[in-house]
């Protein structure tokens, strides 16, 4: 079975043209995406992380076939983005923060009725599907209220309801919680994880710069900056990894001089029983050798624990550091 989403070496450059560039200078070219490759498995929630201007929205638009890539290939459920765009659109649902695409004087139900017609739904089947998505998004009690009266959270849930009308396998959510208050944000997060992912078994690309929500609901993460993939892999792997090193705390009893002969050992705490806890930063595959060396030197080892850095700290370090290429973490 092919991955739900698969991209190989995708690049996209935009050319800025206005009256100033026409009269005084050459058009400015901005490389929004630079050799992007990633894969999202069926049923997975992948978080697409990056600061503003990283290229996240451009990538979402390419996956939604709203923009064509300059280079590279991609597929949705095995269908080519470039040659099978109609089939791709049948597989995806796009959710953005742009509520201007709704008709404000119409009710929620009337809005869905209009968009359902565009999906070639008619008659009893259309009415049944509208009721289903309203129930699913918990908007059935507000279905006959005008869209202009909806709260920000209700508007966002109606956007999700619209995306679900065609029964898509894959949902592309672009900054889905950016304008929501904490209570509305919590409802959208719970709905995405528990209903869309677990119950409905949707594949979800969750595009955000909110590290807390990405860490909470995503199965894997891809960090994007300046149009490049910097790291990708599971949330835990990225959090525990820092520039090729893993952090561990080792609690031991023995001579400090023997312990300090090991590379990258830093004292953290001295305990009343004579033991001490040290921080060591080293590649994961070197930890067994370090433990053997300590044991052979007469050092008693009481505890070895991995240390997890916050996702925010790791993200900041990764984005701030120059990266010549992509690093994938299993």
CATH code for the domain of 297:
3.30.70.1150
pLDDT bin (cut points 50, 70, 90) of residue 195 is: very high
Strand partners, 12: 33
Mean pLDDT across the stretch 155-179? 92
One domain, residues 159 and 297: no
Q: How far is CA 274 from CA 89, 301, 308, in A?
A: 66, 12, 26
Give residue 112's Cα distance to chain centre. 27
The three-state DSSP-derived secondary structure of 276-289 is: EEEEEEECHHHHHH
Rg (CA), the chain: 25
With the CA atoms of 224, 225, 230 and 233 taken in that order, what torsion angle do they form, in degrees rounded to the nearest 10?
Answer: -20
One domain, residues 274 and 256: yes
Residue 167 lies in a domain: yes
pLDDT at 182 > cutoff 70: yes
One domain, residues 222 and 293: no
pLDDT at 330 > cutoff 50: no
Q: Which of 113-122, 148-157, 176-185 has the lowest mean pLDDT?
A: 176-185
What distance, in Å, lies between the first and last C-alpha atoms of the chain? Answer: 20
- In this prediction, residue 194 carries a pLDDT of 93
- In this prediction, residue 12 carries a pLDDT of 96
Residue 313 lies in a domain: no
Q: Which of 8-12, 91-95, 167-171, 266-270 has the lowest mean pLDDT?
A: 266-270
Element at 290 (helix H, strand E): helix 287-296
- In this prediction, residue 246 carries a pLDDT of 63
Residue 174 lies in a domain: yes
Check residue 150 and report its DSSP letter. -
Full DSSP string of 24-89: HSPPEEEEEEEEEEEEE-TT-EEEEE--TTSSHHHHHHHHTTSS--SEEEEEETTEETTT-HHHHH
Q: Containing domain of residue 280, as a range?
A: 243-306
pLDDT at 243 > cutoff 50: no
Q: Which of 42-46, 162-166, 306-310 has the lowest mean pLDDT?
A: 306-310
Of 24 and 94, the one with more pLDDT: 94
Mean pLDDT across the stretch 31-55? 93
Of 263 and 131, the one with more pLDDT: 131
Residue 325 lies in a domain: no
Q: How far apart are CA 201 and CA 184, in angstroms?
A: 23
One domain, residues 156 and 295: no
Residue 82 lies in a domain: yes
Full DSSP string of 28-46: EEEEEEEEEEEEE-TT-EE
* pLDDT digit string, tens, across residues 137-161: 999 999 999 999 999 889 999 999 9
User: Tokens 């609690």 belong to which residue?
Assistant: 251
Residue 171 lies in a domain: yes
Of 252 and 171, the one with more pLDDT: 171
One domain, residues 71 and 217: yes
Q: How many domains does the chain have?
A: 2
- In this prediction, residue 322 carries a pLDDT of 61
One domain, residues 209 and 71: yes
One domain, residues 206 and 272: no
């Amino acid at each position: 079975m092919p991955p739900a989403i698969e991209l190989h070496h995708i690049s996209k450059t935009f050319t800025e043209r206005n009256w100033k560039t026409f009269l005084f200078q050459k058009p400015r070219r901005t490389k929004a995406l630079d050799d992007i490759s990633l894969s999202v498995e069926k049923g997975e929630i992948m978080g697409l992380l990056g600061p503003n201007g990283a290229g996240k929205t451009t990538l979402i638009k390419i996956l939604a076939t709203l923009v064509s890539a300059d280079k590279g290939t991609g597929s949705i459920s095995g269908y080519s983005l470039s040659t099978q765009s109609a089939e791709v659109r049948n597989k995806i649902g796009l959710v953005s923060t742009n509520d201007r695409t709704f008709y404000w004087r119409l009710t929620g139900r009337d809005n869905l009725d209009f968009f359902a017609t565009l999906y070639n739904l008619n008659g009893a089947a259309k009415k049944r599907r509208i009721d289903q998505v309203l129930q699913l998004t918990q908007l059935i009690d507000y279905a006959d209220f005008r869209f202009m009266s909806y709260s920000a959270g209700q508007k966002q849930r109606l956007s999700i309801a619209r995306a679900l009308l065609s029964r898509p396998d894959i949902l592309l959510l672009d900054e889905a919680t950016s304008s929501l208050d904490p209570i509305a944000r919590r409802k959208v997060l719970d709905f995405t994880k528990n209903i869309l992912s677990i119950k409905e078994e949707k594949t979800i690309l969750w595009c955000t710069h909110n590290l807390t929500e990405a860490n909470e609901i995503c199965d894997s993460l891809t960090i994007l900056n300046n149009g490049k993939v910097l790291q990708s892999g599971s949330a835990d792997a990225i959090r525990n990894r820092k520039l090729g090193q893993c952090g561990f705390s080792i609690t031991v009893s023995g001579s400090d001089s023997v312990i300090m002969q090991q590379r990258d050992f830093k004292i953290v705490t001295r305990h009343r029983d004579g033991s001490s806890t040290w921080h060591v930063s080293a590649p994961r595959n070197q930890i067994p050798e370090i433990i053997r060396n300590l044991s052979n030197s007469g050092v008693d080892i009481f505890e070895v624990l991995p240390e997890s850095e916050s996702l925010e700290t790791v993200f900041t370090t990764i984005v701030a550091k120059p990266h010549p290429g992509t690093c994938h973490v299993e």
